Amino acid sequence: MAYDDNNVFAKILRGEIPSKKVYEDTHALAFYDIHPARPVHVLVIPKGKYADFTDFTARASAAEQTGFNKAVVAAAKAAGVIEPGYRLVANTGVNGGQEVPHFHVHILGGAHVGPMVARS
């Protein structure tokens, strides 16, 4: 998936459109999903321009990758879902159902999230 500078998360990072911030540090920004799928639904994005998980893993430095992982946990803490738990989702590419081409992790919680995915 190619990176598009005009994607909605790039605009949030540039401050061109608002977001409800949960957590921010040098590596990542976390904010509430505009259409929550569960009582708590937070998105965590790296500050660098990475299209998806594959791209992030291939091109981001070790410091960026470690920093991002720690930011996901910090965001989960800030959102109050560490206990009794939460689910991380990283939709990747067309078959993964990714809509926004800036790598992001969904944090879902606030209630039992349910089966891992619907069985078809």
Q: Binding of ligand AMP at residue 8 (CB under 6 A)?
A: yes
Residues noted as catalytic: 104
- Select from 40, 98, 44 the least CA-distant residue to 70: 44
Q: Binding of ligand AMP at residue 95 (CB under 6 A)?
A: no
Distances (CA, A) of 25 to 72, 108, 109: 11, 20, 22
Contact 9, 101 (CB under 8 A): no
25, 91, 110, 113: which one contacts ligand AMP (CB under 6 A)? 91
Q: Binding of ligand AMP at residue 113 (CB under 6 A)?
A: no
| Options 21-29, 57-65, 77-85, 97-105: segment touching ligand AMP (CB under 6 A) | 97-105
Minimum distance of ligand AMP from residue 19's CB (angstroms): 5
The CB density around residue 27, as the number of other CB atoms within 10 Å, is 22
Residue 33, beta-bridge partner list: none
Determine how β-strand 28-32 pairs with β-strand 40-46: antiparallel
Site for ligand AMP in 29-58 (CB under 6 A): 33-35, 43
Residues lying near ligand AMP in the complex (CB under 6 A): 8, 17, 19, 33-35, 43, 91, 97-100
